[in-house]
Structure 1
Amino acid sequence: MDEKEIPRKLSEEEETKRLISSLPSDIDCYGIKMFKHQGCWYDKHILQSILNFQRSFQPQETDIIVASFLKAGTTWLKALTFTITQRSKHLLDDDDDHPLLSHNPHELVPFLEFDLYLKTTKPDFTKFLASSSSPRVFSTHMSFDALQVPMKESPCKIVYVSRNVKDVLVSLWHFNKSHKGVAWGGESNDVERCTLEDLFESFCTGVTFFGPFWDQVLSYWRGSLEDPKHVLFMRYEELKEEPYGQIKRLAEFLECPFTEEEEQSGMVKKILELCSLRSLSGLEVNKTGRTWTGVDLKSFYRRGEVGDSKNYLTPEMETKLDMIIEEKLEGSGLKF
């Protein structure tokens, strides 16, 4: 056989490109080509990153993963989780020294698919090494099924926050309007051409980043029912309505419950105040800073209100989303 005819082994990068090119594809409302993999939609950059993560992530027993759909309360939950788990290391009474005062929560709790695995299969975890008093804390918008590929046997803690789809939709539309050019994974987007009605239609078909929305929510809901010791399902609306009780629940799940002395000293209230939208949005770092992709940090802090979608969606749009969610969640025991 001629040497040229001997099939060469494809590199990992070439295999990935071949895989992505073979997947079902569609164009979202921002003009970005999306690929469907394991039931979810991603652009090629984010999909590459997720595949990198699935192939090479090595979980540690004390790892904590904060998970959510886009604009479902991610920033708030990151701030709360970081502050709760780090409270022995960063005292809340030493106001000038707390990392949240000088760093955005997304910097303190990096995204696996945006910050760590987007351009490499071997990210630098040096500053995230776990210790007895401070576990590594990461975040993701991946579905539970995608996240579980390298973590099936891991005792890691996974905290998921859900939010009403209508508020998610409106919050995402405002967020995307606030910046142009670089989208989630590095694709150039056409923000100006996408109306709220366009994004609404994408949500209804499920062709959105990390969508369909209902499939992702259901994946974590079922995960929490099957393994409540390792998967906690939280609701944004309950965090807003009863923050004190909910962060106590979060701390207990993370196996670092508040002591009676901490509660009496006002520790829980101090954490809630430090991590509040009012507090975080007023910090200089969040007023003027930017992410490494060029997104203004202030765009992560808008209103955070429950039911704000009523000010933007027509009754017909609300009814259609309600009907879709009711159909998709039927029989699951999960309701919004």
Structure 2
Amino acid sequence: MAEDRPESLNPLEASSQPDEDLVATLPTREGWSTPLTLYDNCWLRSHMVGKLMLVRENFKPRPDDIILATHPKCGTTWLKSLAFTISSRSRHTFADHPLLTTNPQHVVPFIGVAGTGGDLDHLDALPSPRLLSTHLPLSLLPPAIATVGCRVVYICREPKDAFVSRWHFDNKIGTGAPISLEDAFDLFCQGCTPFGPFWDHYLQYWKESLARPHEVMFLRYEEIVSDPLKVVRALACFLGVPFTEEEEKSGLAEQIVGFCSFESLRNLNANKAAAGIERAGGKIFLEASSLFRKGKVGDWVNHMSKDMGEKMDRLVEDKFKPSGLEF
């Protein structure tokens, strides 16, 4: 369990380059499609840890930034599509929309991730207001996130469904033998997944949303599935661009829901082409359609045994019950 994980080292002082000697001393383990390294109690892909450990000290948030924060496989692509379409609707029509030709992962760059336009020098050069994204837990982002006034939208997902989506995705991008469902499940329950433990990730943003509800919006994937129109309207208000009376009369909110729906996005040519994912020593390639597997709530029952489901439920109850966060 998580209690058995080795302690990580404290963050470095501000630097523009990672300390390779320090990186080499951090705990590392195999298991998923790439090795993972434990940095400040968060498991990161080993080939990315050097760049990501610089984000907390070197990324400079701005007061008008909007940061979309997600744990992997919890609705990142959908949230990016919705937030981008809502916030840029005065600049684009559905006929010339960037999402028709560009994968959602690239219109909203990941903070600190090269290859998505998210390296820190590139982000510094972007005009304001910036729409950015991250998989990092709140503890690995700059403390100024909480003080400069930028807004954060966080989305989580029922852990059993998030796990199954994680397992499928990693087996698609891996270059070695696929990890079995049972081995992946054990790692997930130990908290050993990219950007895990998942419970720490969820809870950091959940607690921040309770403390600063006007600056941190906490969403569940299942909410978007069950009532996307309600979420789109709430998201527009939170982002500071609520729909006008004229837009409501014209049905713009409903059009955005349809344009950004799972099926609509999956069928766009931009999301059927190959997309490169950077890793140490080069790139691995996967079909962009890998980002649109099923998106179904409750699909875990088609993969996990009853015993596995019950074990996960007990873990979730143990980790989240004191916080009031429920699934």
Cα deviation, 1:163-190, whole Å, max 9, x if unaligned, reads 0011111111111222333xxxxxxxx3
Q: Does 1:169 align with 2:134?
A: no
Q: Does 1:112 align with 2:111?
A: yes
User: 1:56 pairs with 58, 64, 71, which one?
Assistant: 58
Identical amino acids, percent of aligned pairs:
38
Alignment TM-score, normalising by the size of structure 2: 0.88
Q: Does 1:274 align with 2:244?
A: no
- Matched-pair contact (CA < 8 Å) for 1:117–1:123: no
- Matched-pair contact (CA < 8 Å) for 2:15–2:57: no
Gapped regions of structure 1 (runs ≥ 5): 1-9, 182-189
Letter in 2 for 1:227: R
Q: How many residues align?
A: 309
- Matched-pair contact (CA < 8 Å) for 1:45–1:118: no
Q: Does 1:21 align with 2:24?
A: yes
Paired residue secondary structure (1:151): helix
Aligned partner of 2:137 in structure 1 is 143
What is the CA–CA distance in structure 2 between the aligned matches of 1:193 and 1:301, rounded to whole Å? 20
Q: Does 1:283 align with 2:283?
A: no
Paired residue secondary structure (1:42): strand
Aligned partner of 1:335 in structure 2 is 326
What is the CA–CA distance in structure 2 between the aligned matches of 1:290 and 1:116, rounded to whole Å? 10
Paired residue secondary structure (1:295): strand
The alpha-carbon deviation at position 277 of structure 1 amounts to 1.1
Matches within 5 A, 1:111-130: 111-115=110-114, 122-123=121-122, 125-126=124-125, 128-130=126-128
Aligned partner of 2:189 in structure 1 is 204
Q: Does 1:254 align with 2:239?
A: yes
Aligned partner of 2:47 in structure 1 is 45
- Matched-pair contact (CA < 8 Å) for 1:52–1:117: no
The alpha-carbon deviation at position 59 of structure 1 amounts to 1.5
- Matched-pair contact (CA < 8 Å) for 2:53–2:140: no
What is the CA–CA distance in structure 2 between the aligned matches of 1:14 and 1:281, rounded to whole Å? 38
What is the CA–CA distance in structure 2 between the aligned matches of 1:74 and 1:14, rounded to whole Å? 28
The alpha-carbon deviation at position 77 of structure 1 amounts to 0.2
Q: Does 1:234 align with 2:219?
A: yes
Alignment TM-score, normalising by the size of structure 1: 0.86
The alpha-carbon deviation at position 32 of structure 1 amounts to 4.1
The alpha-carbon deviation at position 114 of structure 1 amounts to 2.2
What is the CA–CA distance in structure 1 between the aligned matches of 2:118 and 2:255, rounded to whole Å? 38
- Matched-pair contact (CA < 8 Å) for 2:69–2:155: yes
Letter in 1 for 2:19: T
What is the CA–CA distance in structure 1 between the aligned matches of 2:104 and 2:203, rounded to whole Å? 26
- Which has the larger displacement, 137-146 or 117-126? 117-126
Q: Does 1:90 align with 2:75?
A: no
The alpha-carbon deviation at position 115 of structure 1 amounts to 3.2
Aligned partner of 1:223 in structure 2 is 208
Letter in 1 for 2:206: W
Judged with a 3 Å threshold, the aligned counterparts in structure 2 of structure 1 residues 61 and 250 are, in CA distance, closer, same or farther, namely: same
Cα deviation, 1:35-93, whole Å, max 9, x if unaligned, reads 2222211133322122222222122221111111110000000000000000011123x
- Matched-pair contact (CA < 8 Å) for 1:46–1:118: no
> Larger C-alpha radius of gyration, 1 or 2?
1
What is the CA–CA distance in structure 2 between the aligned matches of 1:101 and 1:156, rounded to whole Å? 28
Cα deviation, 1:130-178, whole Å, max 9, x if unaligned, reads 2xxxx21111111112124352322111000010011111111111222
Q: Does 1:159 align with 2:157?
A: no
